[in-house]
Structure 1
Amino acid sequence: MALRTFLLLLLLLAAALLITQAQGIGSSASDCCLKHSQKAIPSGVVTSYRLQGPESGCLLDAVVFTTKRNRKICASPTDGTIQKLMQHLDKKAKNDKNKKKGQTQRPRGRAKKQRRQQV
């Protein structure tokens, strides 16, 4: 009798697991792009991007740009202007990283003279 109860509980647990997997609970596919935007994306409003594809659990290959207002824009990764925008963001990120490394060095040039306060 105990074996039957155990097998029944095991079967119920397996069924619950399959149902949650079928509903997509716990998967990262919940924020996938479903289509590409056809509008031009100005480079001044975009701060970063990420790639989306089958390896991330999404059906559509896309580039997901994040704007300054934290909005997401989906674009085609094969579009030439999108590839240029991605290269621009990569260069900008590399330059920002180099600037942060350079801040630890002493400042160049003369320091401003401080005025003495007269008492």
Structure 2
Amino acid sequence: MKFSSLFFFLLLLTGTYLSLAQGSYGNCCLGYVTKMKKNVKKNVVGYRKQETDGDCNLRAVVFTTTKDKTICANPTLPWVQHLMHKIDNSAN
């Protein structure tokens, strides 16, 4: 009986800790899109780079669309670099 109540308490404590840890990700990307449709690419108006410092564990490029939606992408992919370059050139 003592073992099962101790096990339950540890399980509850672990679940609470993990739920609190998830809250620390604020505004971080937790995964990438693999590709983006042409019509969505046309609606991208800007981007920011997410580094692996602070709360974020994943390097990413976070694109912003005209409807203020964010899309996380892998910064090493050629299509992501091309879209970043296109946005940079259109700003000049």
Same fold (TM over 0.5): yes
- TM-score, scaled relative to structure 2: 0.66
- TM-score, scaled relative to structure 1: 0.52
The answer as to 2:78 corresponding to 1:80 is yes
Count how many residue pairs are aligned between Structure 1 and Structure 2. Answer: 69
Select 1:35's aligned residue among 31, 35, 39: 31
Describe the SS at the equivalent of 1:31. coil
Distance 1:82 1:47, change over 3 A: same
Describe the SS at the equivalent of 1:33. coil
Describe the SS at the equivalent of 2:45. strand
State the shift of 1:57 in Å: 3.2
2:51 is matched with which residue? 53
1:3-59 per-position Cα deviation (integer Å, ceiling 9, x unaligned): xxxxxxxxxxxxxxxxxxxx57xx7x4010000012325331100000001235310
Identity %: 39
Describe the SS at the equivalent of 1:48. strand
* TM-align CA RMSD: 1.8
Q: Which runs of 5+ in 1 are unaligned?
A: 1-22, 95-119
Q: Name whichever structure is richer in strand by fraction.
A: 2
Letter in 1 for 2:68: N
Moved over 4 A (4+): none
Letter in 1 for 2:31: K
1:65 is matched with which residue? 63
* Bigger-Rg structure (1/2): 1
Write the distance in 1 (CA, Å) between the matches of 2:91 and 2:70: 19
- Which structure would you say has the larger RCO, counting Cα contacts within 8 Å and 6 or more residues apart? 2
